[in-house]
Chain A
């Protein structure tokens, strides 16, 4: 395996982990629906989401770990640079992790409502800011990478970022369009997931249907908006030279061309969008249909993989620098060494096994659906 092959392979794995993460954000979507619902409904939503939250959380951790291991220059540049963006994402996940377990426990000091607000915050902030973080793969950021800084004892940091350290990315409207698209996608999927996961409550089912419809419609608006921006945006094309340096050129309609030239990504995008729309429409309009989550879920997965593909493949820097194009991160210059990528590739053989046991556990646990009655009898609930 050549280094190039390994870099492509790992970018694809990152894409797959990212796509799984976006699909699993339905947990956050559910949390974002908590405020303004009756206590009984809230319990039901939380107990439905609560049996999956660890999976989303673990995927986020693994996504971070895998990104670190395979593209450490990204980890170094983005996390240390867009400091506030990442710290706010982290905060929202700290308060999430405890809230499920603590919310109904006696002695939780701050009361159920506080923990529900924590979950709500994570639901909204987590989705929007992760969307913002991904949007930066296309719309770039203001940073420089100067490796020789390492030899400057007074100021040895190689990655430098504008002094707003992430706030500029959060308040960039193009990034926010994707952020809101992710939020409403997650909300739509949460509704469709609960239609599948909760049974014995026809009124709630009807309510979920309405939620799926509205959130899905808003998602479609934001997503098409994002797609419009993306397909008309300029991007960089990187031309590497023999001495390991790179020339970077501006290409109009870069991502549109990428979808055409990396045609597999184009097909995944179209197929993914079709699956999401099908799952959404059938969930909203068929009378008792509960399997929509599998269509919207796999559609979401394909769309996100395709977005990562056009962000990183076809000589495209996946982290464009707006102030110094030559500093832009590509899957070539940001990656780990051939040795590490090879070692990690052997480890990646476990991924199918991990997915298999997750699927098996999911199947075993979801075989019996959640009912409102169960919450009164079960020994462990949130």
Chain B
């Protein structure tokens, strides 16, 4: 493996760990805020006990989320230094705003939330809890805006003198992709937290301790989770449409689709053929169960729409909205034009050194023409421009199948919890609720795999491939830090899970049923 691979692995490792904790922060902070509001409204100590219990678990999770988050931010510099220069003028802004506007809010008020019970008024405390949630959610907004921008770079132009991109429209950062991505991620956090709360509460029911508390928590977690999941599905649908528009190659990889067509079906379950390439005649799948029309509906909300496959895109074939076959730019041509763009930039630089104004203008005009393919200029063959199909294909299926399962999960949980004294007796259902919890994390991480593996080989779509985005360091250094990070994250994760389990077990033995409301 090269330094590019190791840098990618290190970033992936950090991101995967970070995303273990972030969705729980996003959802649990809301659940805690809702419960504290219910406490202030009802003045019932039982809501206070519930608030404090979930707040404790929130705190354990929060710290480790923060720790992995700072690494991600700094890794853009340490491991992706070329990227940081090439698009830092645009990409840096959301990161800075995240810190200033959101993270300060979150971290200032989280301290009040934990330590302020006897130091500030109940109303101020409640405000602090809501502000912690708000801070976390705004924080996610800026990070996802930044991420979406890499997948759909917009609002900028290339400055040949400085050899970097500069921003020319701030508001374009809030593209359809960005808004969809943000909502998809945040709502999935609500769903994940719903599953977490239901799972933990089911364990209380199984142990027959604090059953009233567990039922109350399942109601809050169940509703929030259901709403979150439905919204996640809705925005997921929106994401598919955006991806079709802006990253057709990613969509094709998600489907393992090489030769597209009209009324394209979707593979509900299947195995991709690992030896299939864009230019051989092998079958796409080893086996597949296909739902007719599925992909056309998903991608274009139209039963009969044409969806191109990987080979079609590489060969530059697509069909427009009127049903006419059109030629797009083939990948071989993109590579040629990309290299031309590099040549124009070199010519510009030489003209500039020679103070040759006319030469500079001519070179810039040529560069502008082909700049949209600048990143392809780094490739020597078309194969380099195709994302890994297997990982993208399977991750997408894991996400969708588990996501659908959890819709059922919430419906059953809510149905069961509102039947008086019924859920308390269904041990099998409680077990299912508990065992399902880790699968929600798998579902959530799989979603990120689709998004991030599917966009390869690009750090900035069409403009900067991963291999040109790196820092000039030895792979030995990155291998060392990769394993150090892997070790420390794992050590801390083990501690976190162990502490959570111990806290849950400890609270199951204390009485959370005190009620002073009457």
Contact = CB atoms under 8 A, between A and B. Distances in A.
A34 B247 CA distance: 53
Contacts of A66: 96, 99-100
Given A60-B70, A165-B477, A340-B90, A148 B346 contact: yes
B484 A150 contact: no
A68 B63 CA distance: 24
B419 interface: no
Interface stretch (B198-206, B299-307, B431-439, B487-495): B487-495
B66 A72 contact: no
A79 B84 contact: yes
A163 B471 CA distance: 12
A368 B474 CA distance: 52
B100 A350 contact: yes
B99 A336 contact: no
Given A157-B81, A350-B101, A380-B115, 20 more contacts: A54-B107, A54-B111, A58-B104, A61-B103, A68-B91, A68-B95, A69-B97, A76-B81, A76-B82, A80-B82, A94-B70, A96-B67, A147-B163, A156-B468, A337-B167, A340-B167, A361-B108, A365-B116, A365-B120, A379-B117
Interface stretch (A99-107, A221-229, A257-265, A318-326): A99-107
Contacts of B11: none
Interface stretch (B276-284, B289-297, B499-507): B499-507
A294 interface: no
Given A75-B92, A80-B471, A102-B60, A68 B76 contact: yes
A84 interface: yes
Contacts of B336: none
Contacts of B104: 58, 62, 354, 358
Contacts of B77: 64, 68, 75-76, 78-80, 86
B103 to A, nearest CB: 5
23 contacts: A52-B111, A64-B77, A65-B92, A68-B77, A77-B81, A80-B82, A83-B471, A90-B74, A94-B68, A95-B488, A105-B503, A106-B499, A107-B501, A108-B498, A150-B82, A153-B377, A155-B472, A156-B468, A340-B92, A344-B97, A347-B93, A378-B115, A379-B52
B499 A107 contact: yes
B488 A344 contact: no
A159 interface: yes
A105 B500 CA distance: 9
Closest 8 CB pairs of A and B: A72-B88, A79-B77, A80-B81, A107-B502, A80-B471, A62-B99, A69-B92, A97-B67
A369 to B, nearest CB: 10
B349 interface: yes
Contacts of A86: 74, 77-78
B100 A62 contact: yes
Given A62-B96, A243-B352, A94 B71 contact: yes
B498 A83 contact: no
Contacts of A77: 81
Interface string A202-231: 000000000000000000000000000000
A125 to B, nearest CB: 14
B84 A80 contact: yes
A72 B108 contact: no
A364 B116 contact: yes
B79 interface: yes
B471 A105 contact: no
Contacts of B501: 107
B87 to A, nearest CB: 8
B64 interface: yes
B71 A153 contact: no
Contacts, number: 294
A73 interface: yes
A102 B79 CA distance: 30
Nearest to A82: B78
A97 B474 contact: no
Interface in A40-84: 51-52, 54-55, 57-58, 60-62, 64-66, 68-70, 72-73, 75-81, 83-84
A163 B473 CA distance: 8
Contacts of B406: none
Contacts of A380: 56, 59, 114-115, 117
B342 interface: yes
Contact of B120 (A54, A62, A72, A364): A364
B95 A151 contact: no
Interface residues of B, number: 97
Majority DSSP secondary structure for residues of A touching B: helix
B346 A102 contact: no
A106 B82 CA distance: 45
A105 B380 CA distance: 55
A351 interface: yes
B161 interface: yes
Contact of A101 (B60, B93, B112, B481): B60
B355 A243 contact: yes
Contacts of A91: 484, 488
B473 A83 contact: yes
Interface in A101-148: 101-102, 105-110, 147-148
A161 interface: yes
B89 interface: yes
A97 B290 CA distance: 48
B114 A343 contact: no
A158 B491 CA distance: 36
Nearest to A354: B104
Contact of A100 (B63, B90, B489, B495): B63
A80 B495 contact: no
A55 B494 contact: no
Contacts of B287: none
B119 A364 contact: yes
A370 to B, nearest CB: 10
A98 interface: yes
Contacts of A51: 111, 115
B74 A64 contact: yes
B82 A156 contact: yes
Interface in B323-363: 342, 345-346, 349, 352, 355
A353 to B, nearest CB: 10
Interface string B220-241: 0000000000000000000000
A36 interface: no
Contacts of A161: 472
Interface in B152-206: 159, 161-164, 166-168, 170
A97 B95 contact: no
A160 interface: yes
B224 to A, nearest CB: 24
Contacts of A368: 118-119
Q: Which of B159, B352, B467, B495 has the most CB of A within 10 A?
A: B495
A171 interface: no
Interface string A329-363: 00000001101100110011011001001100100
A239 interface: no
B242 interface: no
A378 B470 CA distance: 48
Nearest to A115: B495
A336 B52 CA distance: 45
Contacts of A73: 85, 88
B462 interface: no
A244 interface: yes
A58 B116 contact: no
Contacts of B56: 380
A126 B51 CA distance: 35
A146 to B, nearest CB: 10
Nearest to A72: B88
Contacts of A270: none
Given A58-B107, A364-B119, A90 B502 contact: no
A101 to B, nearest CB: 4
